Amino acid sequence: MQHSRTDSKSTGIYSRRRFLASAAAAGCAAPALLWQQSSPADPVSTSTGLAADASPVALPPLPYPPDALEPVLSAETIGFHYGKHHRAYFDNLLKLTAGTSFADKSLEQLIVATQADAVHETIFNNAAQAWNHNFYWRSLSPSTTTPNAPLRAAVARDFGTMDGLCEKLAAAAAARFGSGWGWLVADRGKLSVISTSNADTPLTRGVTPLLTVDVWEHAYYLQYQNRRAEYLGQLIGKLLNWEFAAANFSRL
Ligand SMILES: [Fe+2]
Is there a single domain that holds both residue 167 and residue 124?
A: no
CATH of the domain at 87: 1.10.287.990
Ligand 1 centroid – CA 173 distance (Å): 13
Say how far residue 104 (Cα) sits from the centre of its chain: 25
Looking at the structure, tell me whether residues 228 and 149 fall in a common domain. Answer: yes
- Predicted confidence (pLDDT) per residue in 115-146, tens digit: 989 999 999 999 999 999 999 999 999 999 99
Residue 42: inside a domain: no
Per-residue CA distances from 179 to 171, 213, 216, 219 (Å): 15, 11, 4, 10
Residue where one domain finishes, among candidates 138, 168, 188 = 138
Q: How far apart are CA 140 and CA 147, in angstroms?
A: 13
Cα(3)–Cα(29) distance, integer angstroms:
18
Asked if the structure places residue 50 within a domain, the reply is no
pLDDT on residue 93: 97
The reply to whether 232 and 158 lie within a common domain is yes
Give burial (CB, 10 Å; 0-12/13-18/19+) of 234. Answer: buried
Please indicate, yes or no, if residue 154 is contained in any of the structural domains.
yes
- Find the mean pLDDT for residues 86-107: 96
The answer to whether residue 28 scores a pLDDT higher than 60 is: no
- Residues 160 and 219 reside in one and the same domain: yes
- The confidence band for 29, taking pLDDT boundaries of 50, 70 and 90, is very low
* Same domain as 174, residue 121: no
Residue 147 is which amino acid?
Answer: P
When the pLDDT of each residue in the chain is averaged and rounded to a whole number, the result is 83
Distance 52 CA to ligand 1 centre (A): 23
Residues 155 and 232 in one domain: yes
Q: Is 193 contained in some domain?
A: yes
pTM, to two decimals: 0.82
State the pLDDT at residue 54: 84
Could you say which of 138, 171, 187 is where a domain stops?
138
CATH of the domain at 219: 3.55.40.20
The DSSP letter of residue 39 is: S
Residue 69 lies in a domain: no
pLDDT at 40 over 50: no
Domain count, the chain: 2
CA of 199 relative to ligand 1 center, distance in Å: 10
CA–centroid distance, 15 to ligand 1, in Å, is: 30
170 and 235 fall within a common domain: yes
Q: Specify whether 199 is located in the same domain as 124.
A: no
Q: Does the structure show a pLDDT above 50 at 7?
A: no
- 184: helix, coil or strand? strand
Identify the domain boundary among 109, 138, 167: 138
126: left (phi over 0), alpha (psi -120 to 50) or beta: alpha
DSSP letters, 108-150, are HHHHHHHTT-GGGHHHHHHHHHHHHHHHHHHTB-SS-----HH
Same domain, 93 and 109: yes
Distance 219 CA to ligand 1 centre (A): 5
Residue 192 per-residue DSSP state: E
Per residue in 165-217, pLDDT tens?
A: 999 999 999 999 999 999 999 999 899 999 999 999 999 999 999 999 999 99
Nearest to 50 by CA among 123, 8, 106: 106
10: in domain: no
Instruction: State in Å: Cα 218 to ligand 1 middle.
Output: 6
Whether 89 is in a domain gets the answer yes
Residues 107 and 190 in one domain: no
User: From the CA of 214, how far away is ligand 1's center (Å)?
Assistant: 6
Are both 178 and 89 inside the same structural domain? no
Domain span at residue 169? Answer: 15-24+145-249
